[in-house]
Amino acid sequence: MALEKAIAEFSHAEAAIKIASLRVKLKEYATAYYTADAPVVEDAVYDEQYRDLQDLEQAFPDLITADSPTQNVGGAVLSDFTKVTHEIPMLSMGDVFSLEELAQFNQRIVAATNQPSEYSVELKIDGLAISLRYEKGKFVEGSTRGDGNVGEDVTANLKTIKAIPQQLSESIDLEVRGECYMPKESFAKLNEQRDRDGQPTFANPRNAAAGSLRQLDVKITAQRNLDTFMYTIVNAANYNVHTQREALAQLEKWGFHTNPESIVATDAATVQAFIERYQSRRDNLPYGIDGVVLKVNDLAAQLALGNTVKVPRWEIAYKFPPEEAETIVHDIEWTIGRTGVVTPTAVMDPVQLAGTTVARATLHNPDFLMTKGVRINDTVKIHKAGDIIPEVSEVVLTKRPANSQPYEIPTTCPSCGAKLIHLEDEVALRCVNPMCPAQVKEGLTHFASRNAMNIDGLGPKIIAQLYDRHLVKDVADLYQLTAADLADLDKFQEKSIHNLLNAIENSKGNSAERLLFGLGIRNVGAKAARLLLEHFRSLPALMAAGADEIGTIKTIGPTIVDSLQTYFANEQVQQLIKELQAVNVNFDYLGPATSTPVQPNYFQDKTIVITGKLNRFTRDELTARLTELGAKVTGSVSKKTDLLIAGEAAGSKLTKAQNLDVTIINETQATQYLNEVKE
């Protein structure tokens, strides 16, 4: 239990303070989960704090308010989508976490219906709730649950899902509901692709599915291989359907996908056996589940039982406990990214967790490491964040060795030995040595990447060999490589040598915006590089331009201007440009003359303020990215502010934004919105 003391020990004033605190946290968690599709805590953490809030409100009912998370369903409707009003609300489900609570639910049902219970027992699919509406058998509208009363119109996106019939065999008016999900195999492939493209990966299949379905570009949704399981017929009696089992059978006849893993149960032993069977098999299923659902089978009884303000009284979800494993931390490794950010990773004894062997777990940043208190030789509990990414949950202090010493955060770069620093507003440590070997290798890998110079076959392992053997020290050296140089590399034969040299040679002809992006100039992304070269038409013209002229380009703000001016003023950079020019790398823009408009996105045309410490970006990097997307970033909160992005330890700006009712999102949510903008 998360509460610091028993409910009975709370005074009314203490309960009011605690309730207010829990509501703020839960609303933040819910916004991240439902609206941004980017969860910031594990489901178990949310569930525990939600139940604490329920318990306190039950003990102090006069403190219940209409805006409490216990009185509302789901999340907000994004402004990018047309609103759809649900004539019959799409409610969420109540949760239980033990067989004892499940038995209490059954007792309430028996007492209310005065008859033995019969349940349709189904798997709880980890996806996004959807509603599909048909007129004369034709699919005409699809929507998300939203806040339960109003959802988002995602009809065009749902039409790309093969599992959803566009035309029924019967010419009927119909509304059905169910779950849209992403199969595990599709999720793995999507994250592999995003990793190759240098994009942050999705935390779990549920959020990948939600993010994919809520795309403004239906082509992206079509590529994500989503699927559905339908389980509800709205107004089922109109179709001579009287039980949940009949509903599932009828849905299948109409051509919808239904989940075959369900039973009818009339006793607790059968339900328990079903729970145990699928709790042990969940890792082997091709889709994600997070529990088991019991629904009163008789639809007339469901109608009689009715709903509370938030949940149906006739169904309950038994949530599986989070899977954890204990292991011992033997080392903490620090890796350096292209921008110099240094990230800690726990190296542990291998353990089995959620169907895979885990030997490494992220520690995110120094603050996370120190908050968790991890030390070398500590026994720790690990879980998979979103069932995917291994992460340390807690240290088992009772098993800490007697001679244990606090872990000291490094002060020098593990690659080059330079002093590590904390830049303002950053949680991360950073190495600022531009000649740091780890950063140089990452920079070379970025230069060769698909969105930059697209040198096929020149990946991180080959880059490392070339650098370590002193064959390249910067990107210009790539164009001096010979067949004899490559012949010395591991596993390089004649065909590999020929292919790589051809790829390097072909990259010389790329349009210059690829080169500009590939140089890795801070705050200059692929879109900014294209806009700059569209305007100036060549790299030398851009280098010769003044700050005022560069600043006239729409969405190119002062942060990008300063980065460009600082970069090109560097003598080493000027020498690098001369070397690239000498080997005939193209410096001209070869694309169309007309500027590509900014793709519609969440941030476009908004006035935004950034506050607090950021983990994933520097303040300048995030400002540059937002400016590229058509936003205006300012330094102070006012009535004109549309959005506040709040990092850790946000202070007075956050308070002022709350008082002015400004929309507030955290860094995780902002990152998710950025990820959903098509390159």
Can you read off the two tokens belonging to residue 310?
A: 């938030």
Q: Do domains 7-71 and 607-675 have the same CATH topology?
A: no
Residue 78 has pLDDT above 50, yes or no: no
Average pLDDT, stretch 113-133?
A: 94
pLDDT in tens, 520-566: 887 788 878 988 998 999 999 999 999 888 888 877 888 888 889 98
Q: Which of 174, 159, 152 has its CA nearest to residue 90?
A: 152
Where do the domains of the chain lie? 7-71, 83-319, 325-412, 607-675
595 against 59, higher pLDDT: 59
What's the chain's average pLDDT? Answer: 86
Q: Hey, what CATH class is 325-412 in?
A: mainly beta
* CATH placement of domain 7-71: 1.10.287.610
pLDDT in tens, 632-667: 888 788 888 999 998 887 878 888 888 888 888 988
pLDDT attached to residue 479: 95
Any idea which of 360-369, 497-506, 615-624 has the lowest mean pLDDT? 615-624
- Which of 18, 25, 27, 124 is catalytic? The answer is 124
Torsion angles phi and psi, residue 241, rounded to 5: -115, 125
Amino acid letter, residue 336: I
Q: Which of 127, 122, 130, 121 has its CA nearest to residue 175?
A: 130
pLDDT attached to residue 598: 64
pLDDT attached to residue 386: 47
In angstroms, the CA 540 to CA 526 distance is 18
Highest mean pLDDT among 247-256, 391-400, 440-449: 247-256
Residue 492 has pLDDT above 50, yes or no: yes
205-213 helix and 184-196 helix, angle to the nearest 10 degrees: 80
Number of H helices, E strands in the chain: 24, 22
* CATH placement of domain 83-319: 3.30.470.30
Going edge to edge, which strands form the sheet with 128-135?
138-144, 128-135, 174-181, 227-233
Give how far the C-alpha of residue 149 lies from the chain's centroid of Cα atoms, to the nearest Å.
25
pLDDT in tens, 170-180: 999 999 999 99
pLDDT attached to residue 679: 47
* Residue 421, SS3 per DSSP: strand
Domain spanning 607-675: CATH superfamily: BRCT domain (3.40.50.10190)
Any idea which of 28-32, 444-448, 584-588 has the lowest mean pLDDT? 28-32
Q: Which of 118, 390, 467 has its CA nearest to residue 263?
A: 118
The reply to whether 124 belongs to the active site is: yes
Can you read off the two tokens belonging to residue 13?
A: 């004033």
Question: Is the Cβ–Cβ distance between 448 and 463 less than 8 Å?
Answer: yes
Q: What is the DSSP string of 365-413?
A: SHHHHHHHT--TT-EEEEEEETTTEEEEEEE-GGG--TT--PPPPPSB-
pLDDT attached to residue 40: 57
Task: Output the pTM of the full model.
Answer: 0.51
646 against 26, higher pLDDT: 646
In angstroms, the CA 472 to CA 541 distance is 28
Can you read off the two tokens belonging to residue 368?
A: 């996370």
DSSP label at residue 87: S
pLDDT in tens, 370-384: 888 999 999 999 877
DSSP label at residue 56: H
In angstroms, the CA 268 to CA 81 distance is 44
